[in-house]
Amino acid sequence: MPTQTMPGALDPIGSLDELYPVLNRECYTAGWHKARPSLWKEPRTPFAPRQWRYAEARRHIDLAARWISTEQAERRNLLMFNPVGDNDYASLPNLVAAYQMLRPGEHASAHRHTPNALRLVLDAGADVYTVVDGVQLPMVPGDVLLTPGWTWHSHFDRGLDDAYWIDFLDVPLVHRLESMFFEAHPDHFQTVESTPAVSPFRFSAADQDRLLADARETEGARCARLSAPSMRTVALTVHQFASQGRLPARRDAASRMFAVITGSGSLEVDGETFTCQRGDVIAVPIWKTHRFTADQGARLLEVSDEPVQRLLGFYRQERIG
Ligand SMILES: [Fe+2]
């Protein structure tokens, strides 16, 4: 017959200090006795502002291409990781960027995955293209190309020059959500079914020009959102700056990456100044005050996780000055 013990009467645990190790063994944390707080006033992040330089990455990837082919590598890319803790992959908590390169005659085989991806083409000659679900899209410097989650995608260099671009993916977000699915194409290649002049998956420099022409100019800066309803986790914005044009300083509850499409300038992030050239990438973690100022003119691509923060009701912003 089960016995019942009166609480406290015969319990061998005589104090909270004796109770804590018992709780710990049984995987409880007393809410009033946590080692770390679980709530705080405003966003915190261990991720730091960080810059990656195209000229430097290009030297490294050119060297690597002597030894690693696209036959051996799923992708010949250099991931831009933020050196925080043991992280060796993510650029920011929800985003990763990478420099990728193809040599003439190479192709990056077809695959698909739940993460969304996009590319900014830096340097490419004629006959370089991406295929998305059987649709062939040219890759021309300045282009932004989308490969939404679960679309088959592959890349080809059928020209005479090496091709370079920047990939942006929401893989770190998918890692957190644990909803990764990946599949290699059974034939490695996709059959090209169409080569349209216009596609919702490609924003050429001319497309960007048209969108920017309709935008209002403030302090020598115009910005245009690239409409990408197929990419639900990232917001894509193109900024065009006149000489000395600048963005107002701001901070908000999103993390973002800036890539320099053309020109040069400097990005101040929480008092630190990053001078950047074409092809450079800068990561701005959440809630860091930032402001870009162009030199003689510049165009930037901004990739942010703002739609995720907004969808979940977490988004806040603050304009400074
Ligand atoms: Fe991919």
Please tell me the distance between residue 109's alpha carbon and the centre of ligand 1 in angstroms. Answer: 9
- Sheet containing 202-203: order of strands: 77-79, 96-102, 163-169, 117-123, 144-147, 202-203
| pLDDT value for 82 | 98
Q: Could you read off the pLDDT of 216-225 as tens digits, one per residue?
A: 999 999 999 9
**Is there a contact between 262 and 278 (Cβ–Cβ < 8 Å)?**
yes
Same fold, 50-201 and 206-319: yes
Sign of the Cα torsion 128, 131, 135, 137 reads negative
| pLDDT value for 3 | 47
Please tell me the distance between residue 97's alpha carbon and the centre of ligand 1 in angstroms. Answer: 12
For β-strands 221-226 and 50-52, DSSP reports them as unpaired
Output b/e per residue, 89-99; b: 16+ Cβ within 10 A. ebbbbbbbbbb
Q: Could you read off the pLDDT of 130-142 as tens digits, one per residue?
A: 999 999 999 999 9
CA angle 45–230–187, rounded 5-degree value = 105
Sign of the Cα torsion 227, 129, 118, 278 reads negative
CA angle 109–59–80, rounded 5-degree value = 65
Please tell me the distance between residue 69's alpha carbon and the centre of ligand 1 in angstroms. Answer: 17
pLDDT at 1 > cutoff 70: no
Domain boundaries, the chain: 50-201, 206-319
Per-residue pLDDT band at 73 (split at 50, 70, 90): confident
Q: What average pLDDT does range 92-117 have in this prediction? A: 97
Please tell me the distance between residue 166's alpha carbon and the centre of ligand 1 in angstroms. Answer: 12
| pLDDT value for 6 | 56
Please tell me the distance between residue 152's alpha carbon and the centre of ligand 1 in angstroms. Answer: 8
Q: Is 206-319 assigned to CATH 3.40.50.300?
A: no
Indicate the fold that domain 50-201 takes in CATH: Jelly Rolls (2.60.120)
Q: What average pLDDT does range 51-79 have in this prediction? A: 94
Please tell me the distance between residue 301's alpha carbon and the centre of ligand 1 in angstroms. Answer: 20
Please tell me the distance from the alpha carbon of residue 286 to that of residue 47, in angstroms, as a whole number: 9
